[in-house]
Amino acid sequence: MSTPEPAKNSIQVIDRMMKLLDVLAEHADPVPLKQLAIETGLHPSTAHRILGAMSTSGFVERSDAGVYRLGIRLLELGSLVKSRISLRETAMPEMLKLHAATGESVNLGVRAGDEIVYVERTSSGRSAVRVVHIVGARAPLHTTATGKLFLVEDGPQKIKDYARRTGLPASTATSLTTLQALEKELDKVRRHGVAYDLDEVENGVRCIAAGIRDDSGELVAGLSLSTPSERFNPDWAPLIRQTADEISKALGYIPPPAR
């Protein structure tokens, strides 16, 4: 079966974009279009067209003199990747301690738009029950314990916006699918500092999560403990919160003085 032409063209454009970025990365000073075309082997009109699109997206900057350099968007993405790698490395020792203390799966999740993405996990291996929280898996904010932490951080208006935008789709029969139910649940999260997923993402799986903050006080991740429903123990909540606090402390977070 032949490759569809649009798909082939898209891959070709991406390949050319990467060539242009690689050449720009090799030069400390801005590079003229003609030189970029020569070093990448692209026709000047092709290079100009692709650079124009990359400039619009912030991946490349073009000066009035018609020379190009790498754009600020790459710095933003690089900083994001760096922070997440640092987060994973910092969190893992504490995740392993929590895993050893409970024997259950421990997850590290970060927000990506209206979803939680799981970027690290320790697996219990104690149950045949499939846990959805595998590395790279995604789930909606309103059904996940970690996602509820981020929704609380958003505040009332953004919670309403989220509900309207997503429609609060159900993953299981116990998923929260109305704004009223979600707001009631988030009020509990706000008061207790931990969040729960009670068979809301996957039947037979429950979670407890606590937030992780960086040195600026921003909520950057959630630490969650996943268990089969029959082994769920709400008494683990203080230990999960303590573990999340230790990770936050290692990231430079200083909690405000207690009132």
Specify the pTM.
0.70
Cα(194)–Cα(206) distance, rounded to whole angstroms?
A: 13
Range of weakest confidence among 12-21, 104-113, 181-190, 250-259: 250-259
What SS3 state is found at 91? helix
Contacts of 101 (CB under 8 A, 6+ apart): 239
Grade residue 124 by pLDDT with cuts at 50, 70 and 90. Answer: low
Structural domains of the chain, with CATH = 12-70 (1.10.10.10), 81-251 (3.30.450.40)
Nearest CA to 111 among 91, 143, 141? 141
7-42 as b/e: b if 16+ CB within 10 A? eeeeeeeeebbebbbebbeeeeeebebeebbebbeb
Tell me the average pLDDT of the chain: 90
Confidence of residue 129 (pLDDT cuts 50, 70, 90): very low
Above pLDDT 70, what percent of the chain?
92
Q: For 192, what's the count of Cα atoms within 13 Å in the CB-facing half-sphere? A: 18
Residue 139 has pLDDT above 90, yes or no: yes
The span from the CA of 24 to the CA of 61, in Å, is 11
